[in-house]
A and B are shown apart, each in its own frame.
Chain A
Amino acid sequence: MKKLDKERVLLAVAAPVLALAAAFVVTALVLLATGKEPFNAFGIMFDYGVKADSQVYILNKATTYYLAGLAVAIGFRMNLFNIGVDGQYRLAAFFAAVVGGALKLPGLVQIPLILLVGMLVGAMWASIAGLLKVYRGVSEVISTIMLNSLSGIVISYLLVDGRLADLDKQTNIVATDPLPSSSHFFTIPAGGDLDPIWGFIVVAALAGAGFWFLLGRTRFGFDLRAVGRSESAAQASGVNVKRMVLTSMLLSGAMAGLIGMPTLLNDTHQFTSDFPTGIGFTGIAIALLGRNNPVGIGLAAVLWGFLERGANRLEFEDYDKEIVGVMQGVIVLCVVIAYELVRRYGLKRQQQRVGAELAAQAKADKGTDKQEVPA
């Protein structure tokens, strides 16, 4: 049994390592095809990525990505594909910024309030897809994609001078009222003249721990995972599958509501028309890469931040910045393929082990099972 466990760990690590290796090979080929020297590019990315200021940048980026990965992973764990994380976090960040900008309360009250608004808005927006799925059988993939679009429209309607936002005449940027300085989240000084690390990384870590605890250590989490593995078996075991769909959609949406918070509370302090977009989709890639596991998602988020940091540098070195986009895409593809391969291999290995006992058993039965009929 001990040996089996070791093998499982090995297999679990094998998939992402294989995927990354394959991705590097493919990217190298792409670089070669464009007439560039690939290993130099990787070298540049690595050298730049491990610099102190890059590390801070990566951690801050990873905070946001981590939350996005968690939000998607909640859905994945029960076979729900919440593509709508993108719309959920943007809408949530917008309303959280509006509420935060309108109030002047002490930080101790206002920061939790802003977070709560964000989570509520995210959950409400996700619940539309959940309700549609439970009561009308609408695939959550379709409905969340459409809700993404809708959230963009809602925001662009409200984010207009005179509605819920103001136009800054000098920069020509439309933005919500800035949060009072009491609502700025704490930061962790990184020493020297480096930018500080966002304090929200603590919240993200707590969210990860909560995710692990909820799914791995509670009855609710067991039920949720059971639904993800087999809806019919979960139902027979006593899980109310419809309610579980709705609940997990709400949870996923609430987690999505946190995605915009590190940027809002630690960085921009207001929602502007150039608030980061598309992080929900990044979250899908990160959840896939991290195997829906809180530690794995953390590693994936850091890797993603690292690649993006490297991309910025490549531009200066006369490489195409898009090469990193290619690399990210290839990684996700490789990851999906590698996981499936490793999963099948693992299953087969296990069956072979058990199969040995099985064959012996069948042999023993054969003697008694066979009988000739007197003709």
Chain B
Amino acid sequence: MAYPGRSGPRPAPPPSAPQECAIKAASPPKGAPAGAVTDVAVELRGITKRFPGVVANHDIDITVRRGTVHALVGENGAGKSTLMKILYGMQRPDEGTIAIDGETVELHSPADAISRGVGMVHQHFMLADNFTVLENVVLGAEKLHGIAGRARARIKEISDAYGLGVRPDVLVEDLGVADRQRVEILKVLYRGARTLILDEPTAVLVPQEVDALFDNLRELKSEGLTVLFISHKLGEVLSVADDITVIRRGTTVASVVPSETNPRQLAELMVGSELPSPETRESTVTDTDLLVVDALRLTATDVDGVERAVLDDIDFAIRKGEVLGIAGVEGNGQAELVEAIMGMRDPDAGTITLDGADISHAPTRKRREDGIGYIPEDRHRHGLLLEAPLWENRILGHVTEEPNSRAGLLNPAAARRDTERIVAEYDVRTPGIEVTAASLSGGNQQKLIVGREMSHHPKLLIAAHPTRGVDVGAQAQIWDQIRAARRDGLAVLLISADLDELIGLSDTLRVMYRGRLVADADPATITPEELGSAMTGAASGHLEGPADDGTGAATGTGAGAATGTGAATGAATGAGTEAGTATGGEGR
């Protein structure tokens, strides 16, 4: 491979030989962050970013060595993307400093970041379909190498140097996803970037494409470029990264090197160890079915105009005093299930029975009046009126019920009084009930929602990701409230991406995959890793044979996450069930 000199505003760093073997071999232990300044490509210190009502990032410290692939891992909503937007100049931090190549910088816009050699490849590509690759690459960077011959030569040069295989004159609309991604990478390199940020680059790729991408990344690295790689797929991260920084709830909780960690440890760091351990508790489950869902089917038309089943043959029952947890990779039908039970989507077949009454096609308001409480997945879109004061938010969803109204007329005085009560009882930290919901932090917004829903003594509580984006204190509180209500005979449908939460709270677990409930598990015996395998469909296949040890099974989870999209539903169903039952013997 030829190594053409890169023409950048700054001299290219000398290629450092040891990096070549850094993938497999143990990296030198990190400890002195401000050690050799020239070795550090990017340094973030004490970054804090507040959004209306949420602290997206606080006290972030990251040191990225030059010529490495540095992975940033964390759960959805942990604050990874916000952090990268800060580094790319799309957001400005409220506190903290960014240093690029040892120099403290203020980034006001992506253009600033690019001029400092930081480029970003977004999760959603930003390409004009009806333009050629060449045109897309030069768009907005016409001054660098013109728009014709010189630009084409430069593109070829970069493409060859890093083995990207980009053809300059093809229309982007004729390219596949992986090719488009390479065009995006090339676009960034063309602009002289020496540090690349890749936001969840593997989310859209099939496994072979992931391997090809990783080869590209290693190529970039060997050329002395630095890659910041955002992901929550642990298997991938361990295979490609030199350093890993774990982000949880908006802050950096650990920096590790792949050789000294394992997926299990990473997973624990990601979700946090203060989560409840799955211990046997006193069961409050009764014999009375409260919610019965029978052969529920829901179809939706996707973007290609093809009608497909998003929920297929869903059967389950929740008894009074029972928490039924639904595990699953997001987008496998959980949101649709919730919306069908809430009446926001009309099922095509099947029945939903609440406390003996058929509510399959009842309007949402009737269902709420009949005693369904709802903690929505996206509280900003479905749970709150952000620009309305707290007391109006207390009315939302229960406008027909006491104390909010009587005989069609609102009772603002009573609603205000009751909001004061909720604020006090549920520890909603706010200066008053007249402030808008938007000015509260995520945790306090969630406490308000929980308080509101619990105040109407629901028979059934639908809790979708009830503690997502919520600080630790609020999280424990919300769990306690759900447990307390469960003792009083509340039935809970719990949907969560946080496996420890699912295991810790649920009495029964079901796994959802591609719109079907494919497995069930006993929360008393299953581990997050085992549950994770069942969630990805394909990975559960690995669990069929005897697993050699805990680490092996867990690595399977990570790999499965990458391949899960390609797996057939049928195979997953069988394997998933087995995974659920095989767990007991394997956890040790």
A and B associate: yes
A357→B429 contact, CB < 8 A? yes
A230→B386 contact, CB < 8 A? yes
A236→B256 contact, CB < 8 A? no
- Chain B nearest Cβ from A66, distance in angstroms: 25
- Chain B nearest Cβ from A367, distance in angstroms: 11
B484 at interface, CB cutoff 8 A: no
- Chain B nearest Cβ from A31, distance in angstroms: 38
Q: With A232-B381, A362-B55 in contact, is A219–B396 under 8 Å at CB? A: no
A370→B253 contact, CB < 8 A? yes
Which listed residue, B374, B381, B431, B471, touches A230 by the CB 8 Å rule?
Answer: B381
Which listed residue, B253, B366, B429, touches A371 by the CB 8 Å rule?
Answer: B253
A223→B399 contact, CB < 8 A? yes
Which listed residue, B55, B58, B269, touches A373 by the CB 8 Å rule?
Answer: B269
* Across-interface contacts of B432 in A (CB, < 8 A): 1, 4
Which listed residue, A217, A221, A237, touches B397 by the CB 8 Å rule?
Answer: A237
A220→B408 contact, CB < 8 A? yes
A225 CA / B343 CA spacing, docked (Å):
21
B441 at interface, CB cutoff 8 A: yes
A351 CA / B50 CA spacing, docked (Å):
10
* Across-interface contacts of A369 in B (CB, < 8 A): 248-249, 251, 253, 272, 472
Chain A residue with the shortest CB-CB distance to B376: A236
Segment of B36-44, B257-265, B349-357, B497-505 engaged in the interface with chain A: B257-265
Chain B residue with the shortest CB-CB distance to A221: B410
Q: With A230-B381, A236-B344, A347-B52 in contact, is A219–B400 under 8 Å at CB? A: yes
* Across-interface contacts of B344 in A (CB, < 8 A): 235-236
Which listed residue, A229, A235, A240, A372, touches B388 by the CB 8 Å rule?
Answer: A229
B358 at interface, CB cutoff 8 A: no
B182 at interface, CB cutoff 8 A: no
A222→B254 contact, CB < 8 A? no
* Across-interface contacts of B438 in A (CB, < 8 A): 347, 351
A233→B363 contact, CB < 8 A? no
- Chain B nearest Cβ from A196, distance in angstroms: 37
Q: With A354-B441, A366-B251, A373-B256 in contact, is A237–B386 under 8 Å at CB? A: no
- Chain A nearest Cβ from B418, distance in angstroms: 15
A223 CA / B408 CA spacing, docked (Å):
11
A40 at interface, CB cutoff 8 A: no
Tell which of A1, A221, A233 has the most Cβ of chain B within 10 Å: A233
A182 at interface, CB cutoff 8 A: no
Q: With A354-B440, A358-B55 in contact, is A371–B254 under 8 Å at CB? A: yes
Interface of A is mostly: helix
What is the size, in residues, of chain A's interface with B at 8 Å between Cβ atoms? 43
Which listed residue, A1, A220, A222, touches B431 by the CB 8 Å rule?
Answer: A1
Contact with B along A1-32 (1 / 0, CB 8 A): 10011001000000000000000000000000
A108 at interface, CB cutoff 8 A: no
Q: With A4-B435, A239-B365 in contact, is A373–B265 under 8 Å at CB? A: yes
- Chain A nearest Cβ from B77, distance in angstroms: 15
A325 at interface, CB cutoff 8 A: no
Within 8 A of B (CB), among A113-148: none
- Chain A nearest Cβ from B92, distance in angstroms: 15
Q: With A220-B408, A236-B383, A347-B436 in contact, is A354–B472 under 8 Å at CB? A: no
Within 8 A of B (CB), among A327-375: 347, 350-351, 353-355, 357-358, 361-362, 365-366, 368-373, 375
Q: With A236-B344, A238-B364 in contact, is A347–B382 under 8 Å at CB? A: no
> Can you name 7 extra interface pairs (CB under 8 A) apart from A216-B410, A217-B410, A226-B399?
A1-B434, A230-B385, A236-B364, A350-B436, A358-B55, A362-B471, A365-B473
Which residues of A pack against B, CB within 8 Å?
Answer: 1, 4-5, 8, 216-223, 225-226, 229-230, 232-233, 235-240, 347, 350-351, 353-355, 357-358, 361-362, 365-366, 368-373, 375
- List 24 interface pairs A-B (beta carbons < 8 Å), by A numbering: A1-B432, A1-B433, A217-B412, A219-B399, A226-B388, A230-B381, A233-B384, A236-B342, A236-B381, A236-B397, A237-B398, A237-B399, A238-B397, A238-B400, A240-B365, A347-B436, A350-B439, A353-B431, A354-B440, A357-B429, A358-B55, A362-B58, A369-B472, A373-B254
